[in-house]
Chains A and B, each alone.
Chain A
Amino acid sequence: MTDDAPALLVANVGHRFGARAALDDVSMNVERGRFTALLGPNGAGKTTLFSVITRLYNNQSGRVAIFGHGLDREPSRALARLGVVFQARTLDTDLTVEQNLLYHASLHGIPRKAGKARIGELLDRVGLADRRGDKVRTLSGGQSRRIEIARSLVHRPDLLLLDEPTVGLDLESRADIVAIVRALVREEGLSVLWATHIFEEIRPEDDAVVLHLGRIVARGTAGTIAQGTESLEEAFRRLVAERGKRAA
């Protein structure tokens, strides 16, 4: 591991499902302490890329490294520094908030006492300290998401991956979640990869990567990608349309 290694390195990663390439020669970085947006329409390959980074799928070609720890050679060290919020809800609805979070703490080898203290801090941060003993089934969609973010932080990861975390939430819940994650980047220097297709969540100074049909079609800050167009959304639509034409 080198001290200047990026938080996440994805180099020439390809992934195939049978004959179809879900990812084709994908290379991108998440720099330390940066909020990086991964933009792409449905089916672009975002979830496949997340599955490769989280080692749910093997990277069939190319290299993935987290803070310099290659997933192929040092998976444990790499995964220990990674926190993930999956697109699908993954909390156990029959268990309480605390039981869910303690389970996650144990998955990372955190002793119960230290886990409980950390959970207290995190529930405070996501504004749900008073729901600690409640069953997850009693929470709203936005609250569950906030708990999932707290859960992903229990082991103090340095890189946080979020796969479309605000999908299906109302405006207020969406804003809460964006605010929590941005505060983590600002205050704790957390590196974040945020997959989304909601453009309002991205600021011009954020790093952004546009993925379409399994390939990277643009990268840079959101501001530079949007240059010459009215908005990032318009730039995105153009990129996707151009790539679609070329693919056809």
Chain B
Amino acid sequence: MQCHIYDGEVLLENKTMIEVKNLTKNFNSFTAVDHVSFGVKKGEVFGLLGPNGAGKTTIIRMLSTLTRPTEGTATVGGYDVVKHDSKVRKLVGLVSEKMIMYDRLTAKENLWFFGKLYNIPKNVLNQRIDELLGLVQLSKWKGSQVGTFSTGMRQRMNVIRALLNMPEVLFLDEPTLGLDPQSSVEVREFVKKINRENKTTIIITTHMMIEADMLCDRIGIIDHGKITALDTSTNLKRLVSGTDTTILVLEIANLTSDVIASIQSLKCVASVSQDNSTQIKVHAHGDEAFDSIIDAIRAENGKINSVNNLQPTLEDVFLHITGHEVRDKADQKIQLREHRHFMPRRRVR
């Protein structure tokens, strides 16, 4: 299959749920989102992948009518996010990275409050609250104040709160940020389930490659407010593997700096990074790469315990497309409005 580098054109389908054209947002002189265009089909899970401050949250905020675009247009369900904002609001649910709930209200009261803002009739709302709490195993905490909940429980609440109005489009802004691996998996599974069962269109932002890879039908890679690539996870990975890159993870029992230097000196090797005292990761090009590297190690009397030929991860894709690693951006976030912990997740082997 041919890989598709995003070139600014939007492929219009019959069932386009979200259409974004040249969407731009400036905060004073800082351009958070820079002429972004994309389309999302009904029932699709669309991922926006990029480092903190890349503009993901701002895109979500504009699409959920919380922030007004400086330039460009966006429609959700055919409604313009500026002109028909109240129509859009009825269609969407927002899971913000900051949890939207009141600590001193109980789980039920929180859901009741927001449900009433969506004009859901009393009996329907009662039933839906019970259903949603049941879905995320929070039924027995119905009458407890949310302030007493664990982070995982709170995030589950945060997600079901956005589902109260049975939205056609669900925005999830970093839904697993700060969660332990188990809670993260639970949230991801739940998101998948909602998409599968309700045919809800989902836009999810994340800086975690693994999350985007697991959940999204298509992924837009965003950096410095621009979408630099947009395709399925598989196709994006082919961008990297298609350029004859070999990624090897080698475990060498007697790893020395001489061994590393020797590998680095090879023409076919692009970069060598040391993971720990015995393990290195090598990016190399060309058909001969594998043999050359092994030979170089042997020449230095290196004892190879294991060799892994890695499939490219989305991180490699990101590196390939943007020219820098995702985590490099962590240093630059000072200039940005949001201050959060950056938690790189990498796939090893």
Q: Do A and B form a real pair?
A: no
Identify the A interface with B (CB < 8 A).
Answer: none
Identify the B interface with A (CB < 8 A).
Answer: none
